[in-house]
Structure 1
């Protein structure tokens, strides 16, 4: 990488911390003010920085537009799929990936278990909001006001004796999920099915998707499924890093 490019790139995280004057930029880069001004002018022409009326520079609109476009065009399913397949290979259990859309959480990918007992879930099908592990993970990440409003407007079907009974119980469960960073559905939707889930985080740290491992109790008890938590969390973390572009792999 050329020295000019390196210096120009170094300006961006500096301005991400807030507007800065020419002198501050020059000092941070350890260059003469004329060099800093040339770099800033180049970035300004491209819309990546903006010169305020007070003479200080801040990040420009073009940078935010590119970031938003890049995030919008990143397909989390495409990135996650090989890792879901590997998680399925390592565990043998059904693996799901889900997204939150309006008041629904929908499966966008599924890798079936390798044993004869299969789950009836399918890609594109909404999940049970009040009990599914993936739903808890996605809804727990909502801002508190949105979380509470949603909890009080949805219904609470009694799928099994372990189903979430009401909004107060649901909000307590979401608080727990936020605190521990993972979620379960231990017979809340189907008496015989247990599920363990982990969040996939985007560049800003928000939960953009959730993955889960599900298995019938006749195949593995809830305690045995919970032993997979470190593997499930590692898989979600790997997907998060690749999705956010924060992986450590070499550039092509």
Structure 2
């Protein structure tokens, strides 16, 4: 990288800490004030920094506008897919990615199981809102009034004996999911299918998507599938970090993950 470009880019994280004067910028870069001033003027011309009335510099509005535009144009599926594929390679089970749009939760990506017995699901297909693990995560993140309104207008078909029976039970389940940060569907939609899911979060901490691992009982039991939850959560965290532009956090020790069906 050009030394000039490198120095100019080094100014931005400095100003992210707060406004700084010319001398502070020069000292941080290890350059003469005239060099720092030249770099600041160039960044100012492009709207990336702003000179305040007290002669200190701060990040410019153009930088925030560019960041917002980049986030709006970022495809969470494109970011997530390599992570989903790697998880599928490790565990062998079906991996899904879903989003909440206009009152429905839709699958937007799927990596097929490597086993002969597979789930019937397809990209673009709505999921069963009252039982699907990905739906629970996405709806649990809604503001409380909206969450309650959604729960009260839903129907509650009894797909199996483990299906959610009514709105009060669903709201209790969403509260639990919201607190623990993950969700399951253990035979709630189909007796023979179990699923564990984790949220993908944007830069503001809100849930923008949910990913899951699903498998039939003939391949693994519900208890065996639950042991994959730490991997699922780490994968979701990695997607969140990349989608939000954050650096990856250290992996959490599996021993600290406590899971109960």
- TM-score, scaled relative to structure 1: 0.81
Aligned to 2:13: 13
Comparing 33-42 and 181-190, the one that deviates more: 33-42
> Could you tell me how far apart the structure 1 residues matched to 2:149 and 2:25 are?
45
1:119 aligns with 2:123: no
> Could you tell me how far apart the structure 1 residues matched to 2:181 and 2:215 are?
21
- Cα–Cα, structure 1 residues 25 and 178, in superposed 2: closer, same or farther, change >3 Å? farther
Q: CA deviation at 1:18?
A: 4.5
Within 5 Å, give how 1:1-252 maps onto structure 2: 1-2=1-2, 4-20=4-20, 22=22, 25=25, 34-52=34-52, 55-246=55-246
Q: CA deviation at 1:225?
A: 0.7
> Could you tell me how far apart the structure 2 residues matched to 1:81 and 1:63 are?
28
Deviations 1:112-131 (A, max 9, x none): 22334332211101111222
Deviations 1:117-157 (A, max 9, x none): 33221110111122211112222233444434433443333
Equivalent residue pairs, number: 248
Q: CA deviation at 1:31?
A: 5.9
Q: CA deviation at 1:28?
A: 5.6
- Cα–Cα, structure 1 residues 66 and 133, in superposed 2: closer, same or farther, change >3 Å? same
Q: CA deviation at 1:89?
A: 3.0
> Could you tell me how far apart the structure 1 residues matched to 2:136 and 2:210 are?
9
Comparing 118-127 and 76-85, the one that deviates more: 76-85
Structure 1 residue runs without a partner (length 5+): none
> Could you tell me how far apart the structure 1 residues matched to 2:67 and 2:214 are?
35
- Cα–Cα, structure 1 residues 40 and 154, in superposed 2: closer, same or farther, change >3 Å? farther
Deviations 1:14-56 (A, max 9, x none): 4334555556655665666555443332222101123345655
Deviations 1:81-124 (A, max 9, x none): 23323322332322111112132111011122233433221110
- Cα–Cα, structure 1 residues 9 and 194, in superposed 2: closer, same or farther, change >3 Å? same
- Cα–Cα, structure 1 residues 4 and 151, in superposed 2: closer, same or farther, change >3 Å? farther
Give the superposed CA RMSD: 2.9
- Cα–Cα, structure 1 residues 116 and 172, in superposed 2: closer, same or farther, change >3 Å? same
> Could you tell me how far apart the structure 2 residues matched to 1:56 and 1:181 are?
42
> Could you tell me how far apart the structure 2 residues matched to 1:176 and 1:127 are?
20
Comparing 57-66 and 216-225, the one that deviates more: 57-66
- Cα–Cα, structure 1 residues 7 and 155, in superposed 2: closer, same or farther, change >3 Å? farther
Q: CA deviation at 1:216?
A: 1.7
- TM-score, scaled relative to structure 2: 0.79
Comparing 91-100 and 172-181, the one that deviates more: 172-181
